[in-house]
Structure 1
Amino acid sequence: MMNVLIVGACDSTRSVMSPLVPHVPFTPVILMMSSLIRMTGVFFQEFSMKLAAQGRLSPRFIMRLLPASLLLASAAHAEVVPEQFSEAALVKAPETVSCTLENGTKTQCTKIVVKHKPDDLKTGPFCPPALDDEGGIWDWDGSNPGLYRLDRSFFEMLDTLGFHFHDEDERLHIMTDLSKKPVEANNCLNVSPDESVEMTILLPLEPVEAEEPISLGTVAKVGLALDGVPIFADAPSVLDTGNLPALDTCGGHVDPGGWYHWHATATDIDSIYSEEGVDAHCQLPQRHSAQFAYAFDGYAMFGTQDPSGKTPTDLDSCNGHFGPTQRHPEGEYHYHATSEFPNLPKCLTGVVAKDNFVTNAKMGIGSPHKSGQGPGPGQERPGQKRADQKERE
């Protein structure tokens, strides 16, 4: 009977926060309904924990109960606030538009159009010109894995593993235009920015819980930082492409299409350098408990710590939980940065919008000329054929 009630409560939550009605400011009636929904969710959480402590509920049942109660407790608060995004990145003011989620739900999204990078953001260094110079960073996943600074010791280690990124004069093989075919087997990628590029992002105004967590693979779309910079999961591995798309010390670089993006929670990355003994520093203010971004499912993303300065211990598989935030001390569902690089959520618990990332770039993710998310032109080894090309031959 309790299962039936919980499912019904979840359905009621979706109807109260229905994407089929226009998004309007909270009226007293809506606010009262939202409070009741949140209180119901909190009640289910506390009630289930008491029963579990008394041995009257199995752990398996608790795991089925908590997602529903979390949804109830957070539904009244979890929403995108367009005013939080930096004007330095915006092409125009964010607007509310009709959109369709990947599960077919008709709803409303915040439409945000941003520049190739914010006007006030300084980037680099990326690839060092020579072995005696110091570049950005790289998360190496081959033998001797770990986070490294791009310097002589790192590239000499790669030499011993069969990856040669420099010539006899110790100058690096650097590619800035990935529309051209690489000459060398191993290249450091340092793409030139394209100031004409614009990106259009869709974020659900009010998150909708997915039936199952959405896994984030290589260069999967993660979210949009409050500074207006898109966020993506792991960059392509050197082991797959032979090339190294260098990241700067804040964890970002330029896409083959000419726009800058993050592969890390840049405002909480220095703690990882300290933990892993990497001599690097991000020039952005480091705020461990501040909001960094919104994920593409509409939930907020924060640093490693909660508002009290403590690291949460109840995070789910996506590194999210229901807990207090600066804007909602009573609690909302949100993600936290991980303690290892890349310090981003491993998956998303909500449903993302269709066509949620589109660019006018000539190539790369989201461009009209390339719809895939794999290695872009210039990221494959000379003579290397993609698996899909081999299958067609």
Structure 2
Amino acid sequence: MTNALRFDPIRLPEACQDLRQEVRAFLAEEMARGTFGPGKETSPEEALEFSRRVGARGWIGMTWPKQYGGQELSFLERYVVTEEMRIANAPVRPFFAADRQSGPTIIRYGSEALKQAILPRIVKGEASFCIGMSEANSGSDLFAAQARARRDGDGWRLNGAKIWTSNAHLNDFMIGLFRTSPATTQNRRHGLTSFVIDLKTPGIDIKPIGMMSGTREFNEVVFNDVFVPGDNLLGEIDGAWKQATSELAYERSGPERFLETYDALRDLVALAGPEPDTRMAEGIGRLVAQLHTLRRMSVSVAGMLENGVEPVVEAAIVKDLGTVWEQALPHRVRTLAALHDDEGDGGFEERLNQQMRIAPKLTIQGGTTEILRGIIARGLGLR
């Protein structure tokens, strides 16, 4: 336990600024060719082709060892690529989870056979991942996980279900957390083990969970006696809790945790024009100041990852504050725009409505607000 939080004031080096311009030029080319853009619904096939082009640029697995296809670049350089992709609303879903957390987890805990088989495919934009942690009767309380894995020869048999699994219907693999032994009275963390699971394995049923946005993103993934080879075990049997918390530090701290509804703010600035009235100027200034603060905190966490630190508590704070902010952003934009005379380009209201339909999921994915605040309180020595 510690009550010392660290958000060091890190500045991005010059190399990052050069990289930023390169990424912006690439994204402008992709928008010009019609890959994505305002009002454009990118198909899964188009998104996969986009991922391959991103991989060809060397922007997937940037921080990974060169022996697996990585570039051995810094987390700060990766931060810049992520930020630009998110601001542009590029179709990053086929590679993002694999790049952000699944690949680093395999590098740290996977067998050499698993690393050689999967990591180069991720780097090329050809292998996608989802995360199987939450369950219907336990939510984000991973201690209560009941999906089970039992020994079967040289491998394992999986039974149970995972829920809120983002994009499982489009992904190739899952890193799943399964119970291999009962928890003990002394240690609730005991008994959980992680596996890499090929989602095309017989016995897996992926069921959609409806969303107000009308898009398919969340899923329930059901395992019925699914066989997983022994080489797909990640790390220590019964000791995956520490691995899971390390993995979530990667998931919870990036700019994607406060930029998902960013378009609402951009639309508001365009609506206000170059000479907003005092009320509008103050409202936009407040939102931009909050966004800048979240960004500085997120960059700081990227610097900690670069220095080999696992900022579990700091990452939880960024995710909590960031998702609460981006969830509230469309509502704040609507309030500020309500008394503005100009209705904009006609698509403002439609786009804002879509952002409001997206917003409810933001404090669920990656760990609920309640769970995050428990992690923060524990890290501060308050529980």
TM-score normalised by structure 1 residue count = 0.24
Q: Larger strand proportion, structure 1 or 2?
A: 1
Q: Larger helix proportion, structure 1 or 2?
A: 2
Larger gyration radius, structure 1 or structure 2? 1
TM-score normalised by structure 2 residue count = 0.25
